[in-house]
């Protein structure tokens, strides 16, 4: 059950040592919300660390405090530390960062599939991003939002709602984004950084698009990131999903990504179908229109299983 907004503030102010983390394969929301919270807690002169058990895409390196992001092996904690888990449903989503959570845990999240695991939680599935929740908390607490945190929070909100194009965009989402721009966020600079690609990566897009496949009378589109295709794209493949989901007539879009011969990472997006339910079949989750899971099978087998479940659902 959610703690009150004042209790969340009290918990954060009470601790002197705080570790902030979010889900593996961190996206804009995971990174932006952790760095904004880091900014505020750091300004209160606390000992604060930001940990991700994954490489962070360097396209985010324009954010203030990007350099503060550390790997689990670089950090020592004990049970006097508070762990803040942002944008994640359960401890299994944290990779090795979970091993550093030795004391109490505060979870701030917006996933419908949240597992309600923490000592204190503030879960808002009606919000588009963890960054939208944090913005709302800062505003409610009357904490002046510094421009650098506003940039991080704007990036968090904008990336999770597809720059205000997805169905999770509400009036509240836009009001929070407006407040962030008023606080000094730079929408143009953020978009420039996120959209910029090397010419080689831009040209690789042509190769990637050739690999999109259609299923189920063209209502389903999928893309498999084989090791060969990832020679063109690199490790960070999240940005290609938009091309799959934007194909005319497609309701469900998915990507499957090679991790190893026995592990495949799956992303699902939809216009009407509940993809959280499809991801849940494989032990994953997320939101109704955007979800993910990891399947302990080869890329080809995982793709077949995912297509089968999607075709059942549409």
**Binding interface with ligand AMP (CB under 6 A):** 23, 25, 27, 89, 93, 111, 113, 238, 267, 284-287, 290-294
If contact means CB under 5 to 8 A according to the sort of partner, which of ligand AMP, Mn ion, none does residue 109 touch? none
63 dihedral zone (left: phi>0; alpha: psi -120 to 50; beta): beta
CB of residue 14 to ligand AMP, shortest distance in Å: 28
Q: What are phi and psi of 73, to 5 degrees?
A: -70, -15
Check if the beta carbon of residue 49 is closer than 8 Å to that of residue 78.
Answer: no
> Does residue 31 belong to the site contacting Mn ion (CB under 5 A)?
no
Q: Which residue is nearest to Mn ion (CB)?
A: 29
CB of residue 25 to ligand AMP, shortest distance in Å: 6
- CA–CA dist 129, 120 (Å, integer): 19
> Does residue 109 belong to the site contacting Mn ion (CB under 5 A)?
no
The length of the chain, given as a count of residues: 314
In this chain, which of 53, 54, 57, 87 binds Mn ion, going by CB under 5 A?
87
Which span (70-78, 159-167, 175-183, 303-311) binds Mn ion, by CB under 5 A? 159-167
Hey, which residues does 213 pair with through a beta bridge? 222
- CA–CA dist 200, 80 (Å, integer): 48
Check if the beta carbon of residue 295 is closer than 8 Å to that of residue 264.
Answer: yes
Which span (45-53, 89-97, 152-160, 267-275) binds Mn ion, by CB under 5 A? 152-160
Pairing of strands 120-123, 290-295: unpaired
- CA–CA dist 101, 110 (Å, integer): 21
Tell me the three state secondary structure of residue 210.
helix
Residue where the block lists tokens 């990891």: 294
CB of residue 6 to ligand AMP, shortest distance in Å: 27
If contact means CB under 5 to 8 A according to the sort of partner, which of Mn ion, ligand AMP, none does residue 270 touch? none
> Does residue 27 belong to the site contacting Mn ion (CB under 5 A)?
yes
CB of residue 264 to ligand AMP, shortest distance in Å: 12
The separation between CA 166 and the C-alpha centre of its own chain, rounded to angstroms, equals 15
CB of residue 314 to ligand AMP, shortest distance in Å: 18
Pick between residue 112 and residue 174 the one whose CB is nearest to ligand AMP: 112
| Sign of the Cα pseudo-torsion (111, 115, 116, 117, in order) | negative
If contact means CB under 5 to 8 A according to the sort of partner, which of Mn ion, ligand AMP, none does residue 285 touch? ligand AMP
Which span (10-18, 27-35, 201-209, 241-249) binds Mn ion, by CB under 5 A? 27-35
In this chain, which of 121, 132, 160, 251 binds Mn ion, going by CB under 5 A?
160
Residue where the block lists tokens 């606080």: 183
Chain residues that interact with Mn ion, rule: CB under 5 A: 27, 29-30, 87, 129-130, 160
């Amino acid at each position: 059950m959610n703690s009150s907004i004042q209790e969340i503030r009290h918990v954060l102010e009470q601790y002197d040592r705080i570790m902030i983390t979010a889900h593996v394969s961190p996206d804009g929301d995971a990174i932006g919300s952790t760095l904004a919270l880091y900014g505020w807690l750091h300004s209160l002169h606390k000992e604060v660390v930001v940990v991700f058990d994954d490489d962070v895409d360097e396209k985010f390196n324009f954010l203030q405090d990007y350099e503060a992001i550390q790997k689990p092996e670089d950090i020592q904690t004990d049970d006097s530390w508070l762990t803040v888990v942002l944008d994640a449903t359960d401890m299994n989503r944290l990779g090795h960062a979970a091993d550093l959570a030795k004391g109490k845990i505060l979870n701030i999240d917006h996933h419908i599939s949240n597992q309600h695991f923490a000592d204190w939680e503030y879960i808002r599935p009606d919000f588009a991003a963890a960054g939208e929740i944090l913005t709302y908390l800062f505003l409610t607490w009357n904490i002046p939002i510094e421009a650098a945190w506003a940039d991080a929070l704007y990036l968090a909100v904008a990336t999770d709602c597809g720059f205000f194009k997805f169905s999770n965009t509400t009036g509240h989402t836009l009001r929070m984004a407006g407040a962030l721009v008023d606080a000094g966020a730079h929408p143009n600079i953020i978009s420039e950084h996120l959209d910029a690609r090397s010419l080689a990566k831009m040209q690789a897009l042509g190769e990637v698009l050739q690999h999109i496949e259609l299923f189920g009378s063209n209502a389903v589109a999928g893309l498999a990131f084989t090791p060969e295709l990832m020679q063109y794209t690199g490790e960070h493949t999240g940005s290609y999903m938009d091309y799959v989901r934007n194909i005319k007539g497609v309701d469900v879009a998915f990507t499957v990504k090679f991790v190893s011969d026995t592990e495949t990472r799956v992303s699902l997006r939809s216009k009407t179908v509940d993809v959280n339910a499809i991801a849940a079949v494989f032990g994953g989750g997320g939101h109704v229109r955007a979800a993910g899971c990891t399947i302990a099978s080869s890329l080809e087998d995982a793709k077949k299983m995912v297509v089968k479940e999607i075709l059942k659902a549409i």
